[in-house]
Every structure is written in structure tokens, then in C-alpha cells.
Amino acid sequence: MSTQLNGKHILVITSNTGIERDELLRPLEALRGFGATLVHGSIKGGSTQTFQHDTEKDRTVESDATLAGLKAADFDALVIPGGTVNADTLRQDSDARRLIKEFVSAGKTVAAICHGPWALIDAGVIEGKTLTSYPSVRTDLLNAKAAGWVDEAVKQCPANGWTLITSRTPDDLPAFNQAIAHALQTAA
């Protein structure tokens, strides 16, 4: 059976700079390919700057909305791309933290890749969960009372009514995108 996400709405949140290009664009492309409607929300709205490997400026991507104008009730899932600057900026943004908490409270799917779990730490939603991430985020997750960290392409953790999906790096994007699609398809 092929994966179909027609009627599903997914929110991808970023800062306006420092976003790992593939971790933004490849989930947008893959999940749209499954039939989902995607919205890219950024802190300031408008133009966002992507990077390759956190150091090389790549292309700019227009976001669809500001985080302040968004609410979890309008979406089925939340995706948080990595990039150290992106993730570090998101974790400090009150609207990003609010949205993460809203998705969790509503029992929805939350997916984060690479450094993206930093935002989950500051939203206070990872205690007792087992995750994966970019290896350097491991200690931060454990210090924030995650139950564990695993070195796997994708980790889906039962999360008391909501679905938590995490991945390590852009190399894991096929598994990450498929896990999001599967979670949304089985939630239908």
C-alpha cells in the first residue's frame, strides 16, 4: 500500500537563518509528494537563509507565515529541521516553544532532526523520552532528563498520547520522512 497523506497538514518551523538546507527542503518535497499540505513558518516570516553543513550559505527560501500567527490546532504534525544556528535560535523563541507545547498537548506528531531537538529541550517535552539527534546534542538531551539517546537513523518514541520522531543527520532524511508519513497515515 502506498503512503497517502491527502488532507494532512504539516507545519515546518525555522528561524530565518542557519537552517540546514536539506533538512528543510527534502521533508517539504517528500511530504508534499505523499499528498500532504505543508506550511513553512519562520520566526520573522519572509525570507529564510539555508546553509549546507552549517558553514556554507546556500539558497534563500520564502516562508509562508510567522510563528506568532500559527497554532497547532490547524495542523496534524510539526517538523523541526536542524542547523545549529536555526535550532539554537528556535529554542530561544517563545512562539516556537509555544507551538511545540501545543502540538504535544494536542497529542500530535512532533519530528525533529539533527540539532532540532534543542528546541524540544527548551519546550520542556523530552523528559523520559528516548531520542536520537546529531551526536553533539546527546549530552544536552540526557542533562534535560531524556530517558536515553540512541545512535539510529530514526527513533520513534511512544510519548504519552503524542508521537515523537527524531533523526541524526541529513543522511537519515529518507527514514525520517518515511517515519513522519507512516505516523500520520496510521493516525488517520
- Which positions are catalytic? 114-115
Angle between helices 173-186 and 21-33 (to 10 degrees): 40
Half-sphere exposure of 106 (CA within 13 A, CB side): 17
Using CB atoms within 10 Å of the CB of residue 188, give its burial: 0 to 12 exposed, 13 to 18 middle, 19+ buried: exposed
